[in-house]
Amino acid sequence: MPDIRIGYNSADRRRLWWRNALVTLAVAGVTAAILTTRGPGRWWWAGGLGVLAMVAFVSTANQIHGRVHLTARGLEFRTWVSRRVVPWNEVAGIETRERVTRSGIWSELRVVRVRGRTLTLPGTATNRLLDAELDRKLVAVRACWSRAVGG
């Protein structure tokens, strides 16, 4: 079975980087506005907001560049901050999860494990309705899973 890589294509990565940069700039503007005001607690607010912005930025960048490699032994999660292998015999199902936010309805693929929490596949989150790319990724993961467990 050849290795299959699941992740964002270059156009999606570029679009998500722009969104991440705009949110970071907005938070930087709010932080600057807090620092220009007078008050005893402004440094705490600005520092807390700065730390929160950095965590959000790194988390989004991690999701943008994360990939999953489908191999004969299992799913290999590869992100900036972690590497993890989930063997196929630990997979109970592959599902699409939808969540509603202010920016729309987001869909992503999740691996339901026999034991432990479910894991989101990096490079699969999208806010496009009826996304053919997400469907293609879902079919590829399910096909590899089926071949690996002999089903």
Element housing 4 (H / E): strand 4-6
pTM, to two decimals: 0.76
**Which string of DSSP letters, residue by residue, matches 109-137?**
EEEEESSS--EEPTT--B--TT-HHHHHH
Element housing 45 (H / E): helix 42-65
What is residue 53's predicted lDDT score, i.e. its pLDDT?
83
What is residue 40's predicted lDDT score, i.e. its pLDDT?
77
What is residue 131's predicted lDDT score, i.e. its pLDDT?
86
**Residue 101 three-state SS:** strand
What is residue 103's predicted lDDT score, i.e. its pLDDT?
78
How many whole angstroms separate alpha carbon 144 and alpha carbon 151? 10
Q: How far is CA 123 from CA 31, 113, 134, in A?
A: 30, 19, 9
What is residue 2's predicted lDDT score, i.e. its pLDDT?
67
Long-range residue pairs from 112-118, CB within 8 A, at least 24 positions apart, any chain: 113/86, 114/89, 114/90, 115/90, 116/90
What is residue 3's predicted lDDT score, i.e. its pLDDT?
77
Each residue's pLDDT expressed in tens, for the chain with a length of 151 residues: 667 899 888 888 888 888 888 888 888 888 888 778 777 777 777 788 888 888 888 888 888 888 999 998 999 999 888 899 999 999 999 999 999 988 788 899 999 999 989 999 998 888 888 889 999 999 999 999 999 888 6
